[in-house]
Structure 1
Amino acid sequence: MLQSRNFPCRAGGWLKARKSPGSYLKETINMSAEMISYQKTLPVRDEFDVVVVGSGPSGICAAVSAARMGVRTALVERYGVLGGNLTVGAVAPILGSVSRGTLRDELVERLGVPDCDEIGATQQCHDFEKAKRVLVEFAHEAGVKIFLQTPVVDVIMDGSRVDGVVISEKTGLKVLRAKVFVDATGDGDVAYHAGAEYQMGRDSDSLVQPVTLMFTLNGVEEDALTCIGEVDYVQYKGERFLDYTTRLCKEGHLPPHSASVRSFRTLVPGERLINTTQANGIFAVNSDDLEKAEVDLRAQIDKVTEFLRKFVDGYQNCYVKSTAETLGVRETRRFIGEYILEDNDLRTGRRFEDVVVHKASFIVDIHNPTGSAQAEGVPEEVTPYDIPLRCLIPKKTDGLVLSGRCISGTHRAHASYRVMSICMAIGEASGVTAALAAKKGINPREVDYREVQKVLLERGVDLFS
């Protein structure tokens, strides 16, 4: 297979083009950059019915869901372990809720946290090391072929249809072909390379939510305070704990924009998982921004740890046990689908005829793109809402199903559905859709939503109560 591309010389620089508020945001190449024409014949590594790219909470469920439909399924992951935020991102608890009967229920039980609640108040953080093993077993039992340490770097298009993805292996670039692809990369890398339209950031200024680097402390006294976030009103020394940390942040005792010191108990006595570090103004689809954030946030970890030792009882002897291996990215591209999930859909708990995720629920959790804490003060509560199949189908791009946080929705709606429980349910639905399309030899947009619902209902998923 011949692949031909024009590539910019990196030294020539990049230009982020921010268009008017609310319009599509595109990364474009500075036209003064030197261009290099590159042409190479690529071998086809393998062919599948369904290829899922990205093995985070959504991708792992998408792959297992498709494989259980009896189609030949591959799961392609850029890291050396499966799980994304479930493992290398060190994100916990598994927040959000959906209706009963989805793969989310099965997966959290396998991880040993069946009772985790919507906002994490029970603090049932899973064991990240156990998850690295459990997720492989979960996929292998379903018959999924796994590709590890295999980034996807481009796509092969046949007109408007995604015909293959270009993977990078130690022996060179190769192509994986499939009847249908599922983009569960979080950033929507497959959809982006396919030229699908997208939005990024909030309407007012196109800024995205900040990134974080999670870390675990040991040596914490068991009765030491914990705080799950802005919805938590735990008191400390006569004031709300987050008011206390905000005050000390303003006095210079915490890194700027890291006023919200969030902590969770793990399964190990004397441990706390810390969600505090924050880097603003980071577009996590830009390599320079990623490097800047990684360096900045690792330096912040020491400052936050020192703050806890000095200013919070029970943390005097704490030390860093481990840190996440990659950034926790809350927001990048949101692709334009057949329907864009709206803010009011969450507010009213809207039901859809083509529902594939039912009773999705989590606060509108917008971490401040220009400061600390929440962008809108106290997060808005939602009424449990539906996500329709149309949000998973990108406009004008065939052979592709969206999954996870890159599905079609507004900036504010995304702030609710981006969490792991909801992404798992989206993944299951995307896997069923992709498998049905592959079996019938049709494009995902041609799949009858009632057939997707039929499969989910037969699995025991509640879609209509």
Structure 2
Amino acid sequence: MPRTVELTMTAAVRATTDVLVVGAGPAGLAAAISSARHGAHTLVVERYGYVGGNLTAGLVGPCMTSYSLGGGEQLIRGVFEELILRMEAEGSAIHPSRVPAGSPYAGFITYGHDKVTPFDPEAVKVVAAEMCLAAGVELLLHTLVVQPRLDGDRVTGVVVASKSGLEVLEASVIVDCSADADVAARAGAPVRVGRDADGLTQPMTLFFRVGNVDDAVVEEYVRAHPDDRRPFASIVEAARAAGEFTIPRRGVGLYKTLQSGIWRVNTTRVQRRDGTDVGDLTRAEIEGRRQVVELMGFFRRRLPGFADCFLLDTAATIGVRETRRIVGEYTLTLDDLVSGRDFADVIALCGYPVDIHSPTGSGGGVDEQLRTANAYQIPYRCLVPVGREQLLVAGRSVSSTHEALGAIRVMPAAFAMGQAAGTAAALSLVDGVSPRQLDVARLQAVLLRDGAYLGRGFAGAGRGV
């Protein structure tokens, strides 16, 4: 156990609000916008100087499919759809309906990649912030949550740190969209981490972008080598045998962007690091950038179309796929996804397949053997942590198993869960009940009115979509 010291200090109350949203990533954006649109005074705190989370700081993209697994029906709409349509109108996104599986925008991947959404991360910073402000959301950037405040089992606010020092934010309801269940865990709510057998989590990846790529050469090569399960897999194996490729990957994950000659790269892999430990995060950032240097040299030497490429940028933060998951009123399982189980308290549908990157080896990714239903449901109870009141959780830290998380951890699903959580937070205040006691039928009716999708005819949703 580390040595501890006792701290006694006072901090000014900076703000008192109805709904406090922690984190302005995909889940947090949708939660804050939805909460404010339903009349709650809403404050969102974000550690970076801009909104977007993995959409922006993480350079993660494209958004994985918001459609059913077969690509026939758009499942995730609402705030997500509104953001994409606004960006598409100014030429900074392509609506997923126009992006087929196997295309360069989809990383040449077919299974689970029909109808992905290419977008410009810089545009997200502006458009998403404008949507927040138009809804009446108060933004507090450059602010990190340090510790929640409790009154019995009720979470009443948080202590935050910023250039202004330590301050207190008080709130009637808190929506934890930190992606790591920071508020829930520090408030004492039970959490799980990683695989049941050993607690290991999926590896981290530092996204980066390269420029001056010959698009036509890349596309021609990939099409001419269909036996490579992943792009350039045979070249990677030859380079590994020659000692030129040390990264535990079996191919190169790359996605065409909206700009000619610029591609996103999802190929670094940092394993056995804890995304909630600052020492591990530090080591992961350093290792991720070392791998970028190695990959850039490999690209120029070996990959067709990349001979004259240059490094455009690396993400501001390493991408973390998995950390804590709350123990909620219900835990979503792989069987729920495979069977397309119907839930009376459904608040979102998703169709992305199980995508678990190996915590220890070079394998993993979208698993065609673990076939989910064409569409599956996420129930409200997964957002409600046991043991703590006035708290909801949205995003990749909701209540699920390690295997189910591998499917629902992607950004469109986070938008859908965030919209449900933010709407629920605001409605609970209007109705004078805790989020746990909210009439879910009322929540569902409001979500439908706001453009969310809960299945055809709603009853029996999840199969045959």
TM-score scaled by length of structure 1: 0.88
Q: Deviations over 1:303-352 (max 9, x none)?
A: 11111111111111011011100011000001000000011000011111
Alignment pair present for 1:94 and 2:87:
no
Aligned to 1:283: 274
Structure 2 residue corresponding to 1:261, chosen from 226, 236, 252: 252
Structure 1 residue corresponding to 2:35, chosen from 62, 66, 69: 66
Which AA in structure 2 matches 1:236? H
- The residue correspondences of 1:401-420 to structure 2 (distance < 5 A) are 401-420=392-411
The answer as to whether partners of 1:369 and 1:375 remain within 8 angstroms in 2 is: no
Aligned to 2:340: 349
TM-aligned CA distance change 1:315 to 1:172, over 3 Å: same
Alignment pair present for 1:305 and 2:274:
no
Aligned to 1:190: 183
Moved more, 270-279 or 36-45: 36-45
For the residues of structure 2 that align with 1:237 and 1:409, how far apart are their CA atoms? 35
For the residues of structure 2 that align with 1:191 and 1:225, how far apart are their CA atoms? 45
The answer as to whether partners of 1:97 and 1:117 remain within 8 angstroms in 2 is: no
The answer as to whether partners of 2:155 and 2:390 remain within 8 angstroms in 1 is: yes
Which AA in structure 2 matches 1:411? H
For the residues of structure 1 that align with 2:28 and 2:234, how far apart are their CA atoms? 39
The answer as to whether partners of 1:150 and 1:168 remain within 8 angstroms in 2 is: yes
The answer as to whether partners of 2:24 and 2:44 remain within 8 angstroms in 1 is: yes
Which AA in structure 2 matches 1:361? G
Structure 1 residue corresponding to 2:4, chosen from 35, 46, 55: 35
The answer as to whether partners of 2:240 and 2:246 remain within 8 angstroms in 1 is: no
Please give the secondary structure, in 2, of the residue aligned with 1:225. helix
Aligned to 1:158: 151
Structure 2: gaps of 5 or more residues: 68-74, 88-92, 102-111, 457-465
TM-aligned CA distance change 1:237 to 1:434, over 3 Å: closer
Aligned to 2:51: 82
Q: Deviations over 1:356-395 (max 9, x none)?
A: 002x111100001001130796463311111011000000
For the residues of structure 1 that align with 2:341 and 2:226, how far apart are their CA atoms? 42
The answer as to whether partners of 1:63 and 1:73 remain within 8 angstroms in 2 is: yes
- The residue correspondences of 1:319-330 to structure 2 (distance < 5 A) are 319-330=310-321
Q: How many residues of Structure 1 are paired with residues of Structure 2 in the alignment?
A: 428
Q: Deviations over 1:72-101 (max 9, x none)?
A: 001110111100001010000001325254
TM-aligned CA distance change 1:200 to 1:287, over 3 Å: same
Query: Shift of residue 259 of structure 1?
Result: 3.0
The answer as to whether partners of 1:76 and 1:148 remain within 8 angstroms in 2 is: yes
TM-aligned CA distance change 1:320 to 1:192, over 3 Å: same
For the residues of structure 2 that align with 1:237 and 1:343, how far apart are their CA atoms? 30
Query: Shift of residue 44 of structure 1?
Result: 1.1
Query: Shift of residue 234 of structure 1?
Result: 5.2
For the residues of structure 2 that align with 1:273 and 1:168, how far apart are their CA atoms? 33
The answer as to whether partners of 1:249 and 1:256 remain within 8 angstroms in 2 is: no
The answer as to whether partners of 1:226 and 1:265 remain within 8 angstroms in 2 is: no
Structure 1: gaps of 5 or more residues: 1-29, 228-232
Q: Deviations over 1:23-70 (max 9, x none)?
A: xxxxxxx1xx32211111221111111000001011000000101101
TM-aligned CA distance change 1:237 to 1:426, over 3 Å: closer
Which AA in structure 1 matches 2:48? Y
Query: Shift of residue 124 of structure 1?
Result: 4.6
Alignment pair present for 1:335 and 2:326:
yes
Alignment pair present for 1:317 and 2:308:
yes
Which AA in structure 2 matches 1:105? E
Aligned to 2:218: 225
Aligned to 2:225: 236
Query: Shift of residue 451 of structure 1?
Result: 1.1
For the residues of structure 1 that align with 2:219 and 2:183, how far apart are their CA atoms? 39
Query: Shift of residue 206 of structure 1?
Result: 0.9
Which AA in structure 1 matches 2:343? F
Aligned to 1:209: 202
The sequence identity of aligned pairs, in percent, is 38
Query: Shift of residue 255 of structure 1?
Result: 2.6
TM-aligned CA distance change 1:428 to 1:377, over 3 Å: closer
Which AA in structure 2 matches 1:76? V
Q: Deviations over 1:91-130 (max 9, x none)?
A: 0000132525422111222232322568445665211111
For the residues of structure 2 that align with 1:444 and 1:260, how far apart are their CA atoms? 45
Query: Shift of residue 442 of structure 1?
Result: 2.2
Aligned to 2:106: none
Which AA in structure 1 matches 2:138? K
For the residues of structure 1 that align with 2:333 and 2:226, how far apart are their CA atoms? 41
Please give the secondary structure, in 1, of the residue aligned with 2:6. strand
TM-aligned CA distance change 1:303 to 1:123, over 3 Å: farther
For the residues of structure 1 that align with 2:152 and 2:263, how far apart are their CA atoms? 51
Structure 2 residue corresponding to 1:461, chosen from 452, 455, 463: 452
Aligned to 1:270: 261
For the residues of structure 1 that align with 2:43 and 2:204, how far apart are their CA atoms? 29
TM-aligned CA distance change 1:238 to 1:208, over 3 Å: closer
TM-score scaled by length of structure 2: 0.88
